[in-house]
Structure 1
């Protein structure tokens, strides 16, 4: 039996091997953390690299989970988060016999007759699927994203390992309680398995960003898309990381950063929609220096009340209005926040919102110390421990993750913009009820399931 024949089957032994590898990784962290609790010194950096190497060979959600949790502050010790942030899949893409059978299961026995050309080799491999380049009979080039087999079962198994790891860590550290974070990750990962949902998200973003000339959204090919196959127009361009590594002038960097800001926050402040995965691999830069968005699996919908809370907190930070800040945290879903806890959260908010409150052109991190964010996070973490900890609401997870992820990209781009004016332009006509109405209309047009109804 060929290798890819084996991969296409959900074998008992294959599942056991995966469980052993992921359990070994999780168990290793747990043992070391427990040892540290009783005074046994460990080399976290070395162990974190070992963990990355173990998980990096596992296709599927464990890699996706690792990338997600690496951007959520204090869900794991810093050493582990740093290593997991660099995690990439080193497992090879599935072979042609797998692809052929997979395409047949999605489009029928005559699936090849629907394409003029279809590449046997994957153009890209990711955590939940791989992409093939193809040519339609009308001359249009397309990207076919094909999901790996048995991802639903794999997601379930890997999430159980993550739950165990989080529970073990937070017996030792109660600063940020992650119960709601875990629930949010479960829902978002399960949604990412449904390519019909992602297709709807793609339609939604095409609608929300239709007038933004600096942003390119792939065109969905509806008749060649299913729950496990997503077919879109092929977009030619350089990966964002490659573009940065090869060198960008200041005008190019600022243009890309402005497009990034617009692509993320126009949907949020105008429609209550956030894209939760600002991963470097999700962007291309084309020959016109336009920003091309590639992945629409991790999307969350918010009520206007939550979005207004984000705006209110920014204003509270700018005007030192504690009453408004408290109201904003309540709008987000934080419960029973003491004055001491709120003061600590405000210190973090002042750091994150600083670019939006200063009416001047500046870098996203206007400080010569590259570790200032890390130092402040450690200070906040210690303060929250002393006040009994805090439970972030589920609604907060992707917004916080997006802010941190985008901040990192703006830093890598070395962009210098007046972030305050970009923000004020977005929110100048904000109206909570109008957002709710526009959101409902856009979601209906895009045929996106509305979780708020």
Structure 2
């Protein structure tokens, strides 16, 4: 048995053990309830123990578990502080850390993908990975230009052998853990996220397809003074060689950056999210902090284009138009537009003012000229929308999320999660006015 299958078996065993541990803690909670311990104390204890075990196991894994942890980590700002604080570091580590592949395995993949003489294509190659992702790891190297032999600093992304099988196996196991996440945050439904991750596995495993997306982004932002996309030098199905970029990772800025750095990073993140569909016909669909760097020249460096949404016609115009209508308080027009797009049934009766009351708090970030995203704001919104006793939760049961909007919705929520981790203040309304089709100035 090779080291890769052994790791897969170990990973599956760890994931399979998680529900058993959760069941034990739930029984423990029931026992304490019988003895008279307050239910809120029991709930908090179960939350903390569940989160500790869950994040600890996810932090040790590659494959689908790590990818899921990365996706979940951008939402940690919405968790209650007493749950989020002890595990924030573990979640952040998911974004850029994983056990490395042995050098011999790395060399074997390079020989298979670039040819037996792969070393001749590099001036030097560092066997120690500079970073790890969910399905591959990145090595720093110096590329030899095939035309003139000039050296060039590059990042070499190498896909883990068996990554596809590991992703599918991990996501199958993780789909059974919905109860654990509801224990950590009532109302948190991870199943749609897992379904979407599964649907995108095939695309993310194809590094040639990723290279195509990255080239499109690079062409759209060439010479831009705010966004930088590294060039692609060569690509095969399992190896991707791109220009190396130096910069401060967003995870580091979140942990210890100055207020000025955090505000600027948030502004640039918003510009990328809102301008990419118009400029590149694509949306970067993996907005976790490990994929962004604040460069020494002030630009936002963007990496990892394995997950993108193809939007050749740009962001759908109704998003901006309906946001503007909601900000102006035009409840009936908002409901009419939501019906046209499939968010509200054409036959179901619904209270237009209640719909406006449901939507309007979400638009606070663009109601004024400037807004500061905070963890407290996101937690308040999560509570308002997820609590079964909340009027907003009850109304949400009458609303649909059309499939065509699912990815846009998820990426927007992920980006907002990062902005709240940054606690970034910026003129978000003016960014929308420039880049979001149909969004009319308010007032």
Q: TM-score, normalised by structure 1?
A: 0.78
In structure 2, C-alpha distance between the alignment counterparts of 1:79 and 1:34, rounded to whole Å: 22
How much does 1:294 deviate? 1.2
**Alignment counterpart, residue 185 of structure 1, candidates 197, 209, 217:** 197
Equivalence for 2:251: 241
Q: Does 1:102 align with 2:144?
A: no
Task: Evaluate the alpha carbon distance shift between residue 202 and residue 330 of structure 1 in structure 2; reply closer, same or farther with a 3 A threshold.
Answer: farther
Q: Does 1:118 align with 2:104?
A: no
Match of 1:135, SS?
A: strand
Equivalence for 1:334: 343
**Alignment counterpart, residue 149 of structure 1, candidates 161, 176, 182:** 161
Alignment of 1:270-419 (within 5 A): 273-302=282-311, 304=313, 307-330=316-339, 333-334=342-343, 336=345, 346-347=356-357, 349-358=359-368, 360-364=369-373, 371-381=376-386, 382=388, 383=390, 386=394, 389=397, 392-419=401-428
**Alignment counterpart, residue 11 of structure 2, candidates 2, 14, 18:** 18
Match of 1:88, SS?
A: helix
In structure 1, C-alpha distance between the alignment counterparts of 2:205 and 2:325, rounded to whole Å: 39
Q: Does 1:160 align with 2:163?
A: no
Equivalence for 1:257: 266
Equivalence for 2:63: 60
Aligned partners of 1:332 and 1:395 also within 8 Å: no
How much does 1:152 deviate? 0.7
How much does 1:157 deviate? 0.7
In structure 2, C-alpha distance between the alignment counterparts of 1:35 and 1:327, rounded to whole Å: 50
How much does 1:336 deviate? 3.3
Match of 1:371, SS?
A: helix
Deviations 1:357-396 (A, max 9, x none): 32x234245xxxx524323322222246545835544444
Task: Evaluate the alpha carbon distance shift between residue 414 and residue 16 of structure 1 in structure 2; reply closer, same or farther with a 3 A threshold.
Answer: closer
Match of 2:410, SS?
A: helix
In structure 2, C-alpha distance between the alignment counterparts of 1:25 and 1:216, rounded to whole Å: 41
In structure 1, C-alpha distance between the alignment counterparts of 2:188 and 2:100, rounded to whole Å: 37
Aligned partners of 2:208 and 2:237 also within 8 Å: yes
Greater CA deviation, 238-247 or 416-425? 238-247
**Alignment counterpart, residue 134 of structure 1, candidates 124, 133, 141:** 141
Task: Evaluate the alpha carbon distance shift between residue 201 and residue 321 of structure 1 in structure 2; reply closer, same or farther with a 3 A threshold.
Answer: same
Equivalence for 2:433: 424
After superposition, the CA RMSD in angstroms is 3.9
Aligned partners of 1:253 and 1:413 also within 8 Å: yes
How much does 1:198 deviate? 1.0
Task: Evaluate the alpha carbon distance shift between residue 371 and residue 262 of structure 1 in structure 2; reply closer, same or farther with a 3 A threshold.
Answer: closer
In structure 2, C-alpha distance between the alignment counterparts of 1:177 and 1:142, rounded to whole Å: 39
Aligned partners of 2:315 and 2:437 also within 8 Å: no
Q: How many residues align?
A: 416
Unmatched tracts of structure 2, length 5 or more: 35-41, 145-149
Unmatched tracts of structure 1, length 5 or more: 432-453
Aligned partners of 2:343 and 2:400 also within 8 Å: yes
Q: TM-score, normalised by structure 2?
A: 0.79
In structure 2, C-alpha distance between the alignment counterparts of 1:35 and 1:396, rounded to whole Å: 41
Match of 1:140, SS?
A: strand
Alignment of 1:181-220 (within 5 A): 181-210=193-222, 212-220=224-232
How much does 1:319 deviate? 1.6
Alignment of 1:215-226 (within 5 A): 215-222=227-234, 225-226=235-236
In structure 2, C-alpha distance between the alignment counterparts of 1:32 and 1:249, rounded to whole Å: 40
In structure 2, C-alpha distance between the alignment counterparts of 1:157 and 1:344, rounded to whole Å: 43
How much does 1:262 deviate? 1.7
Deviations 1:82-110 (A, max 9, x none): 85881534642112111111111111211
